[in-house]
Amino acid sequence: MDRLSPLQLFLAAAEAGSFSAAARRLNLGPVQASATIARLERELGVRLFERSTRRLRLTEAGERWLPHARQLVAAWADGRAALSEGADRPLSGHLRVSLPSDIGRQHLWRWIEEFATAESPGELRLELRLSDRLADLVQEPVDYAVRYGEPPDSSLIALPLAPGNRRVLCASPAYLARRGRPRTPADLREHDCLRFVLGESVHGRWRFESVQGGASAVEVSGSRVADDGGLVREWALAGLGVAYKSRLDVATDLAAGRLVALLPGWIGEPAPLHWMSVGRHQLTPALRRLAENLRVRCDHLTPIAGEQEPAKGA
């Protein structure tokens, strides 16, 4: 524990940008905290922080040490959990998860809260970060991420939440009354398409598969681009254009008639949803139960859109 305490203090100071704030978080005195970091720096032979009167920040060596310190502290916590974790042990401790913005705000936060309340009331500290940017689970202060698409890193373990989910082209009744319906993917060139940032670039090439066989890809354009999937959905609801969204994101809007699914003879791009973790050691029985609970809820959410894909050859 004497070896672990300086690492915990280092992580707290890096996150808070202040020795005094980190010391308060860990119930230490500021002098003791400063001396502990100085001792850690001597042991490592590098300077971890640049001190100033305005703010504490990591040096280049501190930035390199940060992910390793996180892994060491996480490995200790995982090891303790492995010794005490039983199949029926509830979620507990500090759970930090990155969620996609749209389905995160609409559904996932509530589903996680309901699961935690039912299984471990009062035993869980939950920290959620909503972003459509793929979280780096080593560099960033999160333990898990829920993301669309296949894991970009082979070191990540992915539990499927909605493996068969796809994108669906949709627009509001008001937009369709004003601009008409596209009948083929090529017609989208004549429409205002609501594009979003996917990774580091704008997702402006939309791909579809025909139920008759074959595929089509079209470069779309429009007056609005966002890096937040929830905002793209709000624009579509406001009648500002055509959106190409995950079916999970727009399921309730399709069911309520606020949005209308388009191109019934075409199938949208795959958009599988996964719960991602750095390693299997983090996937405790409780975490697997949570992921399974989310998978079942995703299964129940999609059918409420009230439509099925046409059969091949229809």
**Residue 269 and residue 169 in contact, taking contact as beta carbons nearer than 8 Å:** no
> How big is the chain, counted in residues?
314
Q: Which CATH architecture has domain 4-83?
A: Orthogonal Bundle (1.10)
Tokens of 52: 């100033």
CA 301-307-312 angle, 5° bins: 120
pLDDT of residue 304: 53
- Which amino acid, residue 41? E
Q: Nearest Cα to 256, choosing from 104, 106, 100, 108?
A: 106
Centroid of chain to Cα 301 = 18
Q: Topology of domain 167-268, per CATH?
A: D-Maltodextrin-Binding Protein; domain 2 (3.40.190)
**Residue 109: its pLDDT value, please?**
96
User: For residue 280, what is the enclosing H or E element?
Assistant: none
Q: What is the pLDDT of residue 308?
A: 39
Residue percentage of the chain with pLDDT more than 90: 50
Mean pLDDT (whole number) for 281-298 = 88
The pLDDT tens digits of the residues spanning 7-37 come to 888 988 888 888 888 888 888 888 888 889 8
57-112: pLDDT as tens digits: 899 999 999 988 888 887 777 666 666 555 567 777 788 899 999 999 999 999 99
Highest mean pLDDT (candidates 132-146, 179-193, 299-313): 179-193
Q: For residue 121, what are the CA distances in angstroms to 113, 115, 292, 296?
A: 10, 9, 19, 21
The two domains 4-83 and 167-268 share their CATH topology (first three levels equal): no
d(CA 57, CA 296): 43
Instruction: Tell if the pTM clears 0.75, that is, is over it.
Output: no
| Domains of the chain by residue range | 4-83, 93-164+272-305, 167-268
DSSP H or E run through 301: helix 285-301
pLDDT given for residue 31 in this prediction: 86
Give the CATH H-level superfamily of domain 93-164+272-305.
Answer: Periplasmic binding protein-like II (3.40.190.10)
DSSP secondary structure code for residue 48 in this structure: -
- Please tell me the predicted confidence (pLDDT) of residue 154: 60
Residue 164 gets the label, from left (phi > 0), alpha (psi -120 to 50) or beta, of: alpha
Task: Check pLDDT > 90 for residue 274.
Answer: yes
DSSP 4-31: HHHHHHHHHHHHHT-HHHHHHHTT--HH
